Structure 1
């Protein structure tokens, strides 16, 4: 599928906002500033790989080899979109720390 520049920008914005929002809510509820930045790589693995999660424990060699192959085969547009989601999760951590520093106590 050909990705136009408009589709790429909208996808980047959607992933940034999605993971910023999820990260902000998780940080606020769990009072852990970097929880979404820690969970995000696991979510990326679920997005990129088509192997069942249990196979990482039962047949780990083949599962991780397939994961590496899938990461190598990602298009540059896909990588940019996934990186923008990670940026959203990291920015959520900074924002929640800044708000707490300025006296806002969420829950």
Structure 2
């Protein structure tokens, strides 16, 4: 299904808000400012990959080669959507750091 010009900005905004919110909540609960920025690459691998998790241990060469090929063959729209999710995760860490520096102890 081709992505229209209307779907791309909405998808980017959705990924940004989704991972900002998840990152903000995780940072608040776990008191680790960059937890979602660390977890997000794993989430993006799970989004892109079609190989089962156990195949990374049983047939690792082929699994990692397939993963590399899938990342190299991503369309520009997919790259923009995934990078906006990463931007949301990073901005959640920056926001938590700023709130802590300004004296909000609950964060």
Query: Would the TM-score normalized by the shorter structure come out above 0.5?
Result: yes
* Count of residues paired in the alignment: 107
Match of 1:48 in 2: 48
Report how far residue 95 of structure 1 moved.
Answer: 0.1
Q: Extract structure 1 runs of 4+ deviating beyond 2 A.
A: none
TM superposition score normalised by structure 2: 0.96
Q: Which runs of 5+ in 2 are unaligned?
A: none
In structure 2, the residue matched to 1:26 is: 26
Cα displacement string for residues 48-71 of structure 1 (whole angstroms, at most 9, x for unaligned residues) = 000111111221101000001111
- Which whole-Å CA distance do the structure 2 matches of 1:89 and 1:105 have between them? 21
Partner of 1:5, secondary structure, is coil
Q: Which runs of 5+ in 1 are unaligned?
A: none
